[in-house]
Structure 1
């Protein structure tokens, strides 16, 4: 036995379904549109940050005395991305090889050595460059030419070397090894006893020591936010198109004509 509903009840059910679908579509359109606008605002902030980074890179290089003023973390961040020209002596015993770093699509090491500055009695970690890893013996250290005597190092100021994910037991095993996954400046200063500044220097210039210095350009990630904004606005447009098609156009086409 089949139930038959009055026409008024059917229209009422269809009406409630229409308005519920309309409400859900409007909420989805509003949320996705607001998320797209938020990503555009983030992109504008990153654009301003990128402009500030580019402006700092074009300023005249800092000398050793100016770098020594950055002994606090706040003052160090104010000098990020500035170019420097430092004089000092390498500390070869402090050389560390950061593993799993890539350049030219090949795995290798970032070579980091402390530079004892000629003034102030402080030292700074220098990211000297990249060297490929041995193909068969991954723990074999490459031969790096470290000049003795006073040297001049040109580069740009950076924060601590970039970190990669590491397991706890791997960090414990490599805590005092020359090959490490990551390097914390404060912990390394306590380990070596050197008065390290709370920043590092990415060395640039000629690579006569056999290291590659084709460092990636400093990017604030503006394109990423534009991509996210495009996705959110695309989803917003898709919800609007589906709503118009299924709730308006098809309803009008399927309406019986007299």
Structure 2
């Protein structure tokens, strides 16, 4: 291969790598812009006045539009269907997220994320005792999607102690007419649960960090080409 051909191949490879890394950097910036728009949407919904209980969504599309809105509802707890999601951490402490269905009216139920409780360090299967008042109660809450899923080898979990909970599967299992959303309880209650709910993870800064890495790699490739293909040969001559 001639020296001229080799130089053209090196130039083509350099331009290809630079184009690829620059494109990846631009893509990360676009992802950051999308996440910033999502964060702005979350903040604006949280700032809206509380939603009326009668307006709580009954279908998945409307439920997505109501996420992060505050709402006040009343109903009866169904403690026999309480679920404890394990391996949920708060401040590096292992624990459970406690979920209990709330019957708003006969045949109308919503799943409530009631709060977090620490795990028994000596017996991981021991669930906390949570006070659940009988009769009609009123709670203040925030509309939220179902709890985040963790990796699990079990595809069909049963019983009160679980790793994940799928709303549709839980509705079929219990026969409850669940709405396609859940509520995160906000008001104080004498049940011993923590309601310090983590903010939605938007991770904007992570995308900016990735973009910087790709642009830095693009600049490094360009600098290496200039040094080895232009400056160094001239210095040798």
User: What band does the TM-score fall into relative to the shorter chain?
Assistant: over 0.9
SS at match of 2:82: strand
Corresponding residue for residue 134 of structure 2: 148
Q: In structure 2, how many angstroms separate the alpha carbons of the residues matched to 1:181 and 1:136?
A: 19
Moved more, 93-102 or 143-152: 143-152
User: TM-score when scaled to structure 1?
Assistant: 0.88
Computed over aligned residues only, the root mean square deviation of the Cα atoms, in angstroms, reads 1.5
Matches within 5 A, 1:167-206: 167-168=153-154, 171-172=155-156, 175-206=157-188
Q: What are the superposed Cα offsets for residues 96-148 of structure 1, whole Å, 9 maximum, x if unpaired?
A: 0001110110111100000111x574110011111111111111111111122
Match among 45, 54, 60 for residue 56 of structure 1: 45
**2:108 aligned with 1:125:** no
**How far apart, CA to CA, are the structure 2 residues paired with 1:135 and 1:157?**
32
Q: 2:82 aligns with which of 95, 109, 129?
A: 95
User: Residues 25 and 153 (structure 1 numbering): CA distance in 2 closer, same or farther, change over 3 Å?
Assistant: same
Structure 2: distance between partners of 1:13 and 1:192: 75
Structure 2, unmatched stretches of 5+, are: none
Question: Which residue of the other structure, out of 125, 140, 152, is the alignment partner of 1:139?
Answer: 125
Pair 1:29-2:18 in alignment: yes
- What does residue 192 of structure 2 align with? 210
Quick check: 2:107–2:176 contact (8 Å CA) kept in 1? no
1:41 aligns with one of 26, 30, 36: 30
Following TM superposition, where does structure 1 have runs of at least 4 consecutive aligned residues deviating by more than 3 angstroms? Answer: none
- Per-residue Cα deviation, 1:130-183 (whole angstroms, up to 9, x for no partner): 111111111111111112222221121111111111113xx44xx221100111
Q: Does 1:240 align with 2:222?
A: yes
Say how many residue pairs are matched.
237
Structure 1 gaps, min length 5: 1-11
Residue 239 of structure 1 aligns to a residue in which SS?
A: helix
Give, in whole Å, the separation in 2 of the partners of 1:199 and 1:76: 6
Q: What is the DSSP-based 3-state SS (H/G/I as helix, E as strand, rest coil) of the residue aligned with 1:93? A: helix
- How does the TM-score come out when normalised to structure 2? 0.95
Instruction: Measure, in 1, the Cα distance between the counterparts of 2:188 and 2:206.
Output: 32
Would you say the 8 A contact 1:50–1:219 is kept in 2? no
Give the counterpart of 2:206 among 220, 224, 232: 224
**Mapped contact 1:207–1:213 kept (Cα < 8 A):** no
Residue 105, structure 1, aligned to residue 87, structure 2: no
Structure 1: how far apart are the matches of 2:204 and 2:190?
35
Of the structure 1 ranges 191-200 and 211-220, higher mean CA displacement relative to structure 2 is found in 211-220
